[in-house]
Amino acid sequence: MMQMNSLLKIITIFSAFFICGCLNFYTSSSSLLNDNEIDKKYIGLYEAGITTTDSYNITGNAYVSVTISSGGVATVNISGGYISFLNNIYKEDMVRLSDNSYSASITSSGYRYYFTFTFSDYALNFYFDRNDGTRGSGNLTKVR
């Protein structure tokens, strides 16, 4: 009888640990719903001139500023030459490619834009492609 009580206690303890472990796993996995949000360590303002190429393969220059704010919002401003873009990209539109790389796709002024953001300590490698063949890329410096 004594061995049966000890065995029952051991089974109860293991069951409790198993149930707590499953509950903890389930709770933490539900927090991954916002996993595409840009990591908070990249919050800041990034700026630089970039090289652009239009659908006729004519190169030009544009100025880009990207502001990453808390909540995972990226405000992208591209101006210069034949491009004028100012829009917010929300975390729901972001796709995490790796620990420091994200992509997004949004429509603005009748064009579909595809963005890639790759972060390093004090820089942002920025790339965009527009559905009319216009594209641009450059390395933006973190200003603040």
Task: Please report, to the nearest 10 degrees, the dihedral formed by the alpha carbons of residues 119, 43, 95, 131 taken in order.
Answer: -80
> Residue 29: what pLDDT?
35
Give, in order, the Cα–Cα distances in Å from 90 to each of 24, 81, 105, 127: 29, 26, 10, 17
Provide the whole-model pTM.
0.73
| 98 phi-psi bin (left φ>0, alpha ψ -120 to 50, beta other) | beta
User: If we measure between CA atoms, which residue out of 99, 126, 83, 125 comes closest to residue 38?
Assistant: 99
Would you say 136 and 130 are in contact if contact means Cβ atoms under 8 Å apart?
no
**Segment 66-114, tens digit of pLDDT:** 999 988 899 999 998 788 999 999 999 999 999 999 999 999 999 999 9
